[in-house]
Chain A
Amino acid sequence: MADSTESRPVARSTKPVSEALLNEKWDRAISSMIIKSSLGLSFGVVFSVLLFKRRAWPAWVGLGFGAGRAWEEADTSFRRGESPIRDALRR
């Protein structure tokens, strides 16, 4: 028994198991959606405050830009299928 416990810690690959592939993709898609849309929103707010006399639409436009970018990335990652998920920006 001691032998078996010794031989247990075999280096497991960092690659996720195949059934967790889609879940991972979903996680990444949602997180990137949140981050990018919030980034776009903040940029839009800053722009509206600085340039556009606190108008509302630059903030919405920024949010849209962020969300759109996140969506696009998620879509490409889903389309790429079985290839491992990588950050689009780190490519």
Chain B
Amino acid sequence: MLRSSIAPSRHLLSYSARQRATSQWLSRAGASSRLSGQRFFADSKPPNTGGVTPASPSSESSVPPETLAKAAEQQESNVPPSPQTPAPRKSGRFRRFLTYLILTSGLAYGGSVFLALKSDNFHDFFTEFVPYGEECVLYFEERDFYRRFPSASRHSNRLSGSPREDGKPVTISSNSGLSWKVADVEESGANVSKKGPHMSSHEGLVNAESAKPEERNSAVQKAKDEKAKKSKKEAKPAEKGETKPVALEEPRQPAVAAGTIELLQMQGNDEAVVQELVKTFNDIVTVISADENAGKYSAPIAKAKEELQKIGEKISALRSDAQKAAQEEINKAHSTFDESARELIRRFEDMRGTEAAQYREEFEVEREKLALAYQEKIKTELQRAQEISEQRLQNELVEQAIELNRKYVHDVKDLVEREREGRLGKLDELTANINELEELTSGWSNVIDTNLKTQQLQVAVDAVRSVLERAETPRPFVRELVAVKELAADDPVVDAAIASINPTAYQRGIPSTSQIIERFRRVASEVRKASLLPEDAGIASHAASLMLSKVMFKKDGLAGGDDVESILVRTETLLEEGNVDAAAREMNTLQGWAKILSKDWLADVRRVLEVKQALEVIEAEARLQCLRVE
């Protein structure tokens, strides 16, 4: 669906209208050659018309289609007016247009080439899109390059143009490359015999040999030698100068002994300089003699020989003189040295003798001093040792004295102790006896005291009892009890007995037995009224019990039974017998309302009983104390 919809539109666009558009934007994209010939899937096959498709040339040429189109336009514009050109005015205008065109294009090309040479970006753009731009730029670049490197241009030409046409072998010149010479002369040739740097070592050797013996001699001689050398050198050029003119002047002089010029012989002259001179001269002689016309030089050479001999003699003479003078001087120096040495030795010996004597004296003195010092030291040490030994002895003595003293003290103490034990023991016995006697006496007094106390106590108790029994109405008996307590004097038993009494009892007093019985009668009548009441009785049952108790029979005597009536009867009989304790026990068995009604009476009876018991206890205690004392 989509393809079919797109396809016609593409087809429509693939004609003239499309050509331009595509070519334009494709060229701007810079990939016209690749994209313009492309066929999409939605396209139908392009009609193979054989004619050049507007986009096709771009695939072959580097010129973009845009410019092609331009060119075509130009041609179009160019061509039609040319056949026409009817009017001169028109032709003039056209010419003017052409000139302008050429000028402007030339200017544009020139400017763009200049710019391209300057900036890389513009260079790329120009060479890519402007026709003939690349060639122009290349031409200018090359020219620049050649101008800068003229030799390179030749070379490159040869290389590109004629590569190795004659096949000659490559030869490297002998003096090319580095050499060991510092500054070599252009001279070539391997003449070893000639004098050169390679000979220098030999020369040096000779020089050294000649120099060695010279050095042994004194400085004076050396200077003389140098003088001699100078003179020789001066002489030499003179000789040569002489010889040459001589040679020129007398060329025709026949050789006296052609080829056999005698060599100079210098006998008895060991001087190295002279020998060398002779040698060089001999060399010259040999050279001359080797020459054909040696005869010419024979005479001057002979003269020179003589001269030389003379010089040699002179030198030897000078040398011998100098040697002699030096010898003399040396001898003189030896003698002076010997004398001074002798003097020195003498002085040394003197000095040594004196010093030795001095040292010996000093040594003696020092030895004596040391000996004295040692003796003193020994004396002091001996003294010290003696002192120490004496001290030790004294210490021992003191220790012994102390020991003895201690022993003596101990003995004395022992004796004293024994004595004391003997006598003081007796004294102790006596004191013990006295103490016993004292105790006995105090015991007796104690006994009397306690007897008194108990008597008093008994009296007090009797007083309490009398108060209780005599009273018709209950009366407090606090005073009597206080007296009893004071007399008892912290007797625990009495204290306990008094504490057992209810405080109300001695504050208010206790009723007598007759009073108790009287009150019991009243209580009994009341209890009888309430004797028939049930446990939780209201007013009705109370009223009934009150009514019925009036008509009840009285029991008598020792009635056994748990009912209220019989208990009351028993209690009454017990009370009449005087057994208050049993009566109280009997009444305590009552229950309910009866017990409630008899509560106060019971409390009274208990108080009375408590007081009675306490009094009995106190009396017993008093009696017991009396018994205990005796």
A residues contacting B by CB (< 8 A) are: 3-4, 7-8, 10, 17-23, 25-26, 29, 71, 74-75, 78-79, 81-82
Check A78–B537 contact: CB distance below 8 A. yes
Check A29–B599 contact: CB distance below 8 A. no
In the complex, what's the smallest C-beta–C-beta distance from A30 to chain B, in angstroms? Answer: 10
Check A22–B597 contact: CB distance below 8 A. yes
Q: A7-B476, A8-B473, A22-B530 are in contact. Are A75 and B538 (CB under 8 A)?
A: yes
Check A10–B597 contact: CB distance below 8 A. no
In the complex, what's the smallest C-beta–C-beta distance from B468 to chain A, in angstroms? Answer: 12
Let me know if B600 is at the binding interface, CB within 8 A. yes
Contacts of A10 in B (CB 8 A): 476, 507-508
Contacts of B623 in A (CB 8 A): none
A-B contact pairs, 10 of them (CB 8 A): A4-B475, A7-B475, A8-B475, A18-B600, A20-B526, A22-B526, A22-B529, A26-B542, A26-B546, A75-B539
* B508 to chain A: closest residue by CB: A10
In the complex, what's the smallest C-beta–C-beta distance from B75 to chain A, in angstroms? Answer: 148
Interface majority SS (helix, strand, loop, mixed), chain A: helix
Given the complex of chains A and B, what is the CA–CA distance between A23 and B479 in angstroms?
A: 38
Contact with A along B503-531 (1 / 0, CB 8 A): 00001110000000000001100110110
Contacts of B539 in A (CB 8 A): 29, 71, 74-75, 78
Check B598–A22 contact: CB distance below 8 A. no
Contacts of B479 in A (CB 8 A): 3
In the complex, what's the smallest C-beta–C-beta distance from A16 to chain B, in angstroms? Answer: 9
Given the complex of chains A and B, what is the CA–CA distance between A81 and B509 in angstroms?
A: 29
Contacts of B530 in A (CB 8 A): 22
* B525 to chain A: closest residue by CB: A19
Check A22–B593 contact: CB distance below 8 A. yes
Check B597–A78 contact: CB distance below 8 A. no
Check A81–B593 contact: CB distance below 8 A. yes
Most buried by B among A10, A19, A75: A19
In the complex, what's the smallest C-beta–C-beta distance from B338 to chain A, in angstroms? Answer: 168
Given the complex of chains A and B, what is the CA–CA distance between A7 and B598 in angstroms?
A: 27
In the complex, what's the smallest C-beta–C-beta distance from B531 to chain A, in angstroms? Answer: 11
Given the complex of chains A and B, what is the CA–CA distance between A13 and B509 in angstroms?
A: 15
Check A18–B601 contact: CB distance below 8 A. yes
Contacts of A23 in B (CB 8 A): 526
Check A17–B600 contact: CB distance below 8 A. yes
Apart from the given pairs A18-B596, A22-B526, A75-B540, 18 other A-B contacts in the complex at a CB distance below 8 Å: A4-B475, A7-B475, A7-B476, A10-B507, A17-B600, A18-B601, A19-B526, A19-B597, A19-B601, A21-B596, A21-B597, A22-B530, A26-B542, A26-B546, A29-B539, A75-B539, A78-B537, A82-B596
